[in-house]
Structure 1
Amino acid sequence: MALNDRENEEISIARPKWPIKFANQSVDCVGRKLKRIFDQNASSDYFTSDEIRDYSYYEKLLLQELEAIDRKISKGKLKPSHIAEYPRVIHADEGKIRACIYIGSFDPFQLTHLTVAMRFLASDLSSSDFVIIVPEGSPDTAKPLKTDYAFRYSIAKMQIEGIFDSFIKALDLGMQADTIEIIRRFIAMHSGFTLELTHLIGSDSLPIAASLISQDMLIWRKEAQESKVDYHHSLYVIQRGDVPEMHSYLEAFEKEGIQVVVDPFSVEAPSSSDFRTKQAYTIVLPTNSIREKMEIIFRYHMHRSWSSDRH
């Protein structure tokens, strides 16, 4: 993955230098767990230099975002959240929840998605305190070979739970549901609260999102009224690939009174299709549970390095 002026940097095998301690405890906790994962990669007896290079690339990006999140918390612009038991237990400051929802096929969820979520939280342009990850579970004729929803959800959870608990959480809300239904379900969970929800999307999804937003808002506002939720909707756009001309699409959101933020950084990264078609498994965060599933692949070199195409 690359972000604007960083996108042409040489992918180096050199690992970044982690700080001894972050200023904020919640960030320090995430940092220690992430560093331990990448340390395990470097000390593994079966990862080659190509795999270490792949992982060190993302390690640097995640560290940069953690450092930015640490600064943002210190400025009082982001509040670490108690979301380990969310939504069964909801902690709200003066009854207000500032959440972001990130929905996609996530086939599979991987380090690019993690970096996008962390980039969002690190940005001074975002106002959410945490990100909710939800794989879409509705049938998709454009993706007939999409992996079973339950498996995609479990793979996302394996890379998030117990590591990013103050900032990112995978929620099982997507079974047989598209984006409209997932957000409706999410709104319904917050009866009696003020919900400031930011919908995080890639610019490649902007045309379809713009075409449906009027219909979507009717459904979401109706649910908010019935569930007694003071609902506020905004959109945050991450630039992906060939960015479409945005002005006409953004007008559709403005007509609905929706604030739209376009992140100034663009994202060029290995995609989930690299995982499926190139066997580039080094785009998935190798937590212990992920390593258990994939160790045989690495030991017998039944895969490729995604960064090898760039040399």
Structure 2
Amino acid sequence: MPYTAPEKLNTKALALLLEKLYTAVPALLPLIAPEGWKNSRYHHMMMYERQEQYQNYIQSMADMGTKQYRPHSRYIAPNPDPEEEIDFDSYFGITFPPLYDDHIEVFYTLVDLLVELTSCSFLIRNGAEPQYYVDEDGTEALLYEIAYRHGHIDQYTYDTMATICSAPVLDNLNQIQGLECIFAVIRSEGYALKHWDDELLYIRELQEGYDDLSYAPIPAQEKEMTQQDIRKRIQNCLAEYTQSPVDPFDFRSIVALFNRRKICPIILAYLHAYDEFPIGYPYTYRHYNEGNEWI
């Protein structure tokens, strides 16, 4: 399939995008958290994860205090003083995102959404190659740099770079709002989107795997079981969009079904930001079929 390898967006270009995303946070925050970020389910998800990590730490301290000495062992069990336990705020004092910092938590969430967006679809300029993706490892250093430069973290936290909390996933309307924010930023830098639907890619990959099994030198029973599994996986994907029977190996019909039924947050957000569809939408058979090029 014409899925050419993208290039990693260079650090200078990425830094410009992230700085603009940082600046866009105050306008986005009341949209995705109208009652305040600290009252949002997204902040609660992050705090729940931190609470779990802190409880694991407390439990490990308790376990260390109850270990028994073992005869003829060089291991000496520690016996920590309960008063030496670190409180919750101190435990996360040098971690990222910093505790109770709404701006950075939202910024962190946006950057994670940008990385996820370009894990399948890509950024392009002037409708032509090359195409770019945002590297997750490359964003981490820039996240710290921007947070430090704007006074959200101190020098020690910046040097430590201890990212300990995962970003929450925006859902429903909030995801569209977050994507609109991202698209407004990338449009301002002259980029457009080359869109690939991850489900269609997955189905096409399964279909190709099914075809390859016809020539695989494996026992017939194993081959049949694997083919049945592939068929079931495709049917599970299609069940979200129709209850009517669809041939799981008729890719043209599947593409037509997705154009009729699939509501994609990426497409909606892009349309709002650019007033047009991205390259790759509406979906077409040839876009996902080996040996063809994009229109």
TM-score normalised over the length of structure 1: 0.24
**Larger RCO of the pair (alpha carbons < 8 Å, separation 6+):** 2
Structure 1 or 2, whichever has the larger Rg, is 2
Give 1 or 2: higher strand fraction.
1
TM-score normalised over the length of structure 2: 0.25
